[in-house]
Structure 1
């Protein structure tokens, strides 16, 4: 038997009973999951109920459908209006016209997993694999609002797509989809645009427009706030891992969601202090009557930027105002930081997860870079109500994690659930920072936990998938083995649990 269950009484006990009218709400059905994490707060918690406590990918037990992703799936899905969007590669071409290594965004039918359309993007020319790593999927989880999709391609283009693809015609102003599907160094002409191709509405090229020099592939979850899009530029080191090619480039930009026009950017000069790359996507909330966008830079510092008017930004780009700043690791080296490369004992810290806002508290994981930095990692709880430089006044507690950390925490009913690269799952008191329990789940976790239906779901890079009770007392429910490693976060929408491995996306439903 490939799955392990606890008693029926425990399963019954675990069954537990978002859209709001605030300016933070995304358009869409309450049961959809149109963005990675909860809208704005980024909390990895879902209100879905009736989710399965057991399933088996091999026998098909409780598997609604599965869809192939190729060989290197690193992106988590988003679901809205009957569509499932997720990154893939071109290892198994869905259109024979596309030959070779391509990054792909799939739009699948929510009911049966069949493909509606795909966005196929060639790799960046020139062979700089540290910008656009070979064979990996399109890794930025899309954000959906109404009939529009906002995401970042492997070429670091922020794009607005029609959720319906080409089925309702090729909408402008962008009309060069046929050219966009062809590599720039190819001597062939534009492809014909077909019914299974994506419809690009507008495009903003971060490399050309703001001069960013990204590293290790795109990894941005676009945050929508009214008419504005908040976007991580992924600025980082070059192939030497010691040089920031674009030290003056912004790390956070704001775009107009209707046109793609640049509205604002940070002027914090984060670039020179980026140890590896800018991994984190922003969160947002209202603190003391002021709306702030919280963003973790590649320098390990958490910034609070004053949010722009959600009704629309100024006509010319402006600098983001920063009334709040918290250094997650103030004791870490601040000078000549790349001399600490490969130092597993002393190095700068960075943040690979997203900050989570729960009330007036921020929960952030940080620590030494998983590939190049120190082994230490932590979860910190920060008071978000202060003003100015709050590094030495806002820290409420710090919890040590085991080795490195990539996961965004899930804050639920006074508990924080988080997994780390040491192969540990932690349940922590959200008020005090003391552990309720920990569990060794075998291998490192690159995705995040999901709390839904009174359960905690998490996958590992060994392909192990675990389900625990979302409770202060450790109660394992199930351990399921998948076909390949899991680098993504589980997602729940409309009564279905979605789990993406390197090779397939599984839609799992209690039948």
Structure 2
């Protein structure tokens, strides 16, 4: 049986590669060829899940071979950086071979089993190595359409936007990323109610001031966005809103609810990459927030795609995207069984070859939300399909309307698809899609997580390019980390791969845009532990203009596997306040606690504005090349010197509050993945050790800290004269906007962990815990309403 599974896996890879030549979806952009996208594994199946793994391209980390230090972490006892975030889905990561950087097998057989109903005869371009640098930044998105009404803001503004009352259309409200909405009278007294552990039903008898509550997946890390009458956030598929994707199918999901009552409207579904946890960790869902402008939104999927959607979905009765091809949507799969006597695929193929739809499959179509009308259905075989693959099409009446369907045999899997139309009200209306893995050769580590932002028509994206599963090799060191695109078409203006071979882990920070001194800047937190600023324009010849860069780590900090070292990442989003840049340093939450730094820097400087410069004693007049493991190695003759061009205004690492000369736990700033919030000159930020800090934004003076006794994953909200922050225990802690030390004015448990950030839009407080999103506002009587299918 194991041999049969192995043979099936090999055949699947061969067949899927062949299928790409005939069924590659989307238009073929001009320019040099790129690696093909890794595609989804099976969804609903008969005969068990497919035993197919598509390996990623082999990439050689030359710096690892040349520098002994890159054997990182002297005999690591484990390479895993994940623990128990999803214990039911995550096996322990394999230990890295000591002193041997692991490499991934070449993915010379690209796999995409989704058909393109309109362009089945197009041949796919040959894949290029993932570590080949893009020759031109002229890539265009699949399905790119003409500019939409969202492009009204076509000219980049000459000054920073002011926060306006009303919607909260992106992470941080504006591109400055400061979570301080215009809001007064936001509640500090509410109760979420209880949920039945078996059925999930909401018992609102104990709820208070809950306008509505909607169900999410089992894990929710995306932050809530409210705009154009919609509430949007990322989660996983454990709630199973779509019939074609039951709750046991793992997906990355962007879900949309009605702002007024929390009613489910539509969802975008991202099937999991078959490469698994190295690129698309199980059950994590969509971890970023969308950007909404008018009737368009942009976000990054867990598959490494940048996508533009119609905010209305198909509720406007129109298909606004993909004018050159139709969008297939998987309904279900049937897998070949190991036991030939139990195999159904052969029989189904025989009937399909005779032009008939197997009668027993009608129930499967109905279960997937596509009840086929009674009567004979004529199936047509696609003669252009290359053996051993097969492709069929047919039309059938569903709920009184003619619908198109596609059947595809790819290796051991027989897949059934519908062609999406405006009748599919619960599906997303895709305007365009740009696959960073396919077009640019990027390889995210564990998850793609970037909440995009824009300046005028320029969309800014962090690719999440990172290390491989061993954590010793950068998978695609020459692939870009930072990208600027045309938000109307998906065309790439420029890319930058400054982190390159020095990426420490992953790249999960989101870009920030600000006009400072009349110059538009886009700030990117690099995976190499540097913060970069580029001119926020279309660049020149596919490259941006670097304004400044800043090393977020002390020069003697060391990278060690599993988070044991002191060399940190920037996972938080930089915030611009009064022409200064603020951010915290930290690591993947699964690395646990450790030392961190809260920085305030001057973005009007140019060049290397780090606190220190790394030089060698032999010639201290010239900085030495950046080193991945440790910037300054004394044994090599390196040393750190003060940077005369430093942009540091202040930094916070420790604060001897009682003046006893000893630094206690509560007198330190620890690792943090949280984004600061600043108002009235007061900065608030939690760290991952559970301390909540109040700091003078101008001077860095620490006014007070409060121990929440639980790790904080999200960031604070300042609404009116109150500050809200959530923690892993599910508590929302509320403070006064004051530099005077005080106890919380409220502490309310949301019934499950809060990994995201509270936001306010149109006078309503929104809080998402792991599996529900709550709209909190004054209500009359019980005044509560359950949305989202409750």
SS in 2 for 1:91: coil
| The one of 491, 508, 521 aligned to 1:279 | 508
Pair member with larger Rg? 2
2:391 is the counterpart of 1:171: no
Q: Is the 8 A contact 2:163 2:182 kept in 1?
A: no
- How many Å apart are 1:188 and its aligned residue? 1.2
Q: Does 1:363 align with 2:593?
A: no
Q: Residue 350 of structure 1 aligns with which residue?
A: 569
Does the 8 Å contact 1:27/1:145 carry over to 2? no
Cα deviation, residue 169, structure 1: 1.6
Say which SS state the counterpart of residue 741 (structure 2) adopts: coil
Higher strand share: 1
- The answer for the alignment partner of 2:600 in structure 1 is 381
Aligned residues: 480
Match of 2:684 in 1: 417
Mark the CA change 1:106 to 1:160 in structure 2 (over 3 Å): closer, same or farther.
Answer: same
Aligned residue number for residue 258 of structure 2: 109
Q: Which of 701, 706, 714 does residue 434 from structure 1 map onto? A: 701
2:776 corresponds in structure 1 to 508
After superposition, give the CA deviation of every residue in 1:326-368 in whole Å (9 maximum; x if it has no partner).
111141458xx5xx21363x44221010111112211010145
1 or 2, which has the higher helix percentage?
2
The 1-side partners of 2:242 and 2:518 are apart by: 51
Of 391-400 and 183-192, deviating more is: 183-192
1:293-332 matches, within 5 Å, as 293-308=522-537, 313=538, 318-332=542-556
For 2:254 and 2:576, how far apart are their aligned partners in 1? 29
The whole-number CA distance in structure 2 between the counterparts of 1:180 and 1:405 is 40
Q: Secondary structure at the match of 1:207?
A: helix
RMSD: 2.3
Q: Secondary structure at the match of 1:208?
A: helix
Q: Is the 8 A contact 2:244 2:330 kept in 1?
A: no
CA pair 399-262 structure 1, distance change in 2 beyond 3 A: same
User: Which residue number in structure 1 is paired with residue 725 of structure 2?
Assistant: 458
Q: 2:417 aligns with which of 159, 176, 190?
A: 190
Q: Is the 8 A contact 2:514 2:522 kept in 1?
A: yes
Name the CA distance, whole Å, in 2 between partners of 1:152 and 1:343.
26
Aligned pairs for 1:144-155 (under 5 A) are 144-155=292-303
* Separation of aligned partners in 1, 2:691 and 2:192: 24
2:310–2:430 Cα contact (<8 Å) kept: yes
Partner of 2:451: 221
Counterpart for residue 5 of structure 1: none
The alignment partner of 1:342 has SS state of helix
Provide the secondary structure at the position in 1 that maps to 2:253: strand
The residue aligned with 2:189 is 54
Change (3 A) 1:157 1:143: same
Unaligned runs of 5+ in 2: 1-152, 194-205, 334-407, 612-645, 654-667, 780-790
1:394 aligns with 2:642: no
Alpha-carbon distance, 1:380 to partner: 0.6
Partner Cα separation in structure 2 for residue 73 and residue 24 of structure 1: 34
Partner residue in 1 for 2:466: 236
Report deviation, 1:291: 1.3
**Cα drift, residue 284 of structure 1:** 1.5
After the TM superposition, which of the residue ranges 37-46 and 254-263 deviates more from structure 2? 37-46
The correspondence for 1:66, drawn from 213, 220, 223, is 213
CA apart distance, 1:240: 0.9
Report if aligned partners of 1:150, 1:160 keep a CA contact under 8 Å in 2: yes
CA contact (8 A) 2:163 2:174 kept: no
Of 723, 735, 741, which aligns to 1:468? 735
Q: Any unmatched runs of 5+ in structure 1?
A: 1-18
Say which SS state the counterpart of residue 116 (structure 1) adopts: strand
Q: Give the TM-score of the pair, scaled to structure 1.
A: 0.89
Rounded Cα–Cα distance in structure 1 between residues aligned with 2:580 and 2:331: 44
